[in-house]
Structure 1
Amino acid sequence: MSYAGDVTPEQAWTALRAEPGAVLVDVRTRAEWAYVGLPDLGEIGKEVVLVEWQTFPEGSVNERFTADLEAAGVAKDAAVYFICRSGVRSISAAEAATREGWNRSYNVTEGFEGPHDVDRHRTLSGWKVAGLPWVQG
């Protein structure tokens, strides 16, 4: 593993609440943020940092990813929790951030929506299924 580790959505929420400098970075696409929803950190006085790992609609890796993290003010000494839809893109994001000096980069397993169930719906796990705060639209 070339990043700090994997955490569940609940563990990420607990860490974000407990550590003032901890940051949640949502690496999904603009379309996902707009139509699926976002984690809501308002009750702990924080905002989700939005930096695409893959650009929409092209689907290519965002070559400015770490520059965008820096531009968003994500401190290199902060605990940074990367979340995507299901916990796959966020691994790549955590690895890239670690290579560039964000040594406390974590992957949020299960992501925002989690994997498919037998009916191909995302109802098994993830931030939303865990009942953590989120908003849509």
Structure 2
Amino acid sequence: MTEPIDIVIYHNPDCGTSRNTLAMIRNAGIEPHVVEYLKTPPSRALLMQLIARMDIPVRDLLREKGTPYAELGLQDETLTDEQLLDAMMEHPILINRPIVASPIGVKLCRPSEAVLDILPMPQKGAFAKEDGEAVVDAEGRRVS
């Protein structure tokens, strides 16, 4: 019997990119732990760990669209990582999504097909995004 594959997706069900990413994880035959991060935000320590594992600057995790980004003045390049983290802790909607953690790595899956790079299992069949864009063919191979 094989060990279950531990994958976590920090998910927003209102986000198409997040829904497509979740569907691709499931298309690989994996049922991930789904964390609706707006209802259950990650702790500051966990968020810092995820950012470190993604090897991205804190600023790269900030979401601008549909958030208080501009009103909070977060475009100010002089803000420290600590200040940006403070804003994300106070307003979790500022955390860009979806973030997926797998045994292979952690990634901000924008575009959604970026998840394919960190899934330990191949796609089980064809997959198209909600908008109809083909991502994986019938043999489970990535479409360019």
More helix per residue: 2
Q: Output the TM-score relative to the length of structure 1.
A: 0.30
Q: Output the TM-score relative to the length of structure 2.
A: 0.29
